[in-house]
Amino acid sequence: MIKSIILLVFILSIQNSFCQVTFIVENLPKNTPKNAEIFISGDFENWTGGQEKYKLKNIDNKYFTTIPKTSKPIHFKFTQGDWKSVETDKNGHDLENRTYTFHKEIDTVKIDIQAWSNKVNKKSTASKNVFVLSEDFYIPQLNRKRKIWLYLPPDYHTSKSKYPVIYMHDGQNLFDELNSFSGEWQVDETLNQIFKENGMGIIVIGIDNGADKRLNEYSLWKNSKYGGGEGDAYVDFIVKTLKPYVDNKFRTRSDKSNTAIFGSSMGGLISFYATLNYPEIFGKSGMFSPSFWFSEQSFVFAKKKGNLNHTKIYFLAGNKEGENVAFEEINQTVKDMNSVVSILKKQGFESKNIKETVVQGGKHNEKMWRENFKDAILWLFAS
């Protein structure tokens, strides 16, 4: 009782100092470890799964955290430190992201967590031909290390063939449900199916995002609200460090017509920059829900670098992109994508080498990207 009073006094003292919302987790699943560490993870911290900064405080087994007021809704979930231990419904099924809209200066929200994911005990969903190339591949351009995934075609070890290569961002979400926070792309299952149907084999290199560094790494240009500015170094890493390593270690077709770069959201934006800035390297590109809203320089860059030949780009967006995310600007995705396509064509980019798809009812999520990945691959790699 005394501890509960202390908790209340502590929360009130914080709320009197800031404009914010306090989330109090009142009820936890019975199998929650004693003195468990619980985190809030959401779009406001780049969906990392659990940063120390966002660990809930614990008083008398009541967990709470405070989030400063923002002008836009926030989307979030609770975890025990990573996406393997994310909250679920009582039957263990994935939950939709929680959403909170700031409608007053100071607010308190009480929350019950029904169950924790049992991904810790689940098997990986990655196919047998998916590997971890490196847990800590060094990025000299940024002085960081990153996990790199490798997908090999089903016949790689039984043939002497050389293969095209796709470089993909957000590696956590490509192959394995255990590593994703909102579903995987099923890149491996899709490419295995394509191989079975027509014998097309492709190597994929998946690069994990840098969590809280993701926005910085995925944009060349800075946004006054969200950051950015390290995109040039990140792409240089792919072009000058990672690609030479892959071409040396594996049987690849290293020319531009057999080298693609692919990503969604901010990953679509950095793929746009890479494609236009290194047309001699990347002859194919998939840009799903590209975040052109992040900087007006996207349109300037399209005008400057858009006169390309022998480069194919597959653009994709949903007409309901802004419904499930906090960044209000994502509502502009289709409009901005249309604008960039129009600029490219005016600059001389061959119309036959651009495919633009708007998915009716499509939202800004892995489900839409997963369901359209096969079509993009078949179009990009059509002979």
Domain housing 70: 2-120
pLDDT at 101: 86
131 with 52, same domain?
no
Angle at 51 between CA 46 and CA 54, to 5 degrees: 95
pLDDT tens, residue by residue, 48-104: 889 999 999 998 778 999 998 887 788 899 999 988 889 988 887 778 789 898 888
pLDDT above 50 for 25: yes
Amino acid present at 332: Q
pLDDT at 204: 98
pLDDT at 330: 63
Q: Is the dihedral of CA 12, 18, 23, 25 positive or negative?
A: negative
Q: Which of 92, 120, 148 is the last residue of a domain?
A: 120
What CATH number does the domain containing 78 carry?
Answer: 2.60.40.10
**Which one is predicted more confidently, 219 or 92?**
219
Q: Is the dihedral of CA 290, 40, 108, 88 positive or negative?
A: positive
370 with 314, same domain?
yes
pLDDT at 120: 56
Among the listed ranges 62-71, 109-118, 132-141, 325-334, which one has the minimum average pLDDT value?
325-334
172 with 295, same domain?
yes
41 with 153, same domain?
no
Average pLDDT estimate for 362-383:
94
22 with 170, same domain?
no
Instruction: Please answer whether residues 25 and 59 qualify as being in contact, where contact means their C-beta atoms are separated by less than 8 angstroms.
Output: no
Instruction: Please answer whether residues 21 and 66 qualify as being in contact, where contact means their C-beta atoms are separated by less than 8 angstroms.
Output: yes
**Which one is predicted more confidently, 257 or 118?**
257
**Which one is predicted more confidently, 382 or 12?**
382
What CATH number does the domain containing 207 carry?
Answer: 3.40.50.1820
235 with 113, same domain?
no
pLDDT above 90 for 140: yes
99 with 136, same domain?
no
Q: Can you name the residues that pair with 23 across neighbouring β-strands?
A: 65, 109
pLDDT above 80 for 4: no
Pairing state between β 87-88 and 115-116: antiparallel
20 with 71, same domain?
yes
340 with 225, same domain?
yes
pTM above 0.85, yes or no: no
pLDDT above 60 for 16: no
Give φ, ψ of 318 to 5 degrees: -105, 150
pLDDT at 18: 60
pLDDT at 15: 46
267 with 352, same domain?
yes
169 with 64, same domain?
no
Contacts of 335 (CB under 8 A, 6+ apart): none
Contacts of 355 (CB under 8 A, 6+ apart): 312, 313, 314, 315, 376, 379
Give the mean pLDDT of the chain.
90
Q: Which of 120, 153, 180 is the last residue of a domain?
A: 120
pLDDT tens, residue by residue, 296-328: 999 999 999 999 999 999 999 999 887 645 455
141 with 44, same domain?
no
How far apart CA 236 and CA 230 sit, in angstroms, is 10
Q: Which of 85, 120, 155 is the last residue of a domain?
A: 120
First to last CA, the chain: 72
State how many domains the chain has.
2
Q: What percentage of the chain reaches a pLDDT higher than 70? A: 91
pLDDT tens, residue by residue, 38-50: 999 988 888 888 9
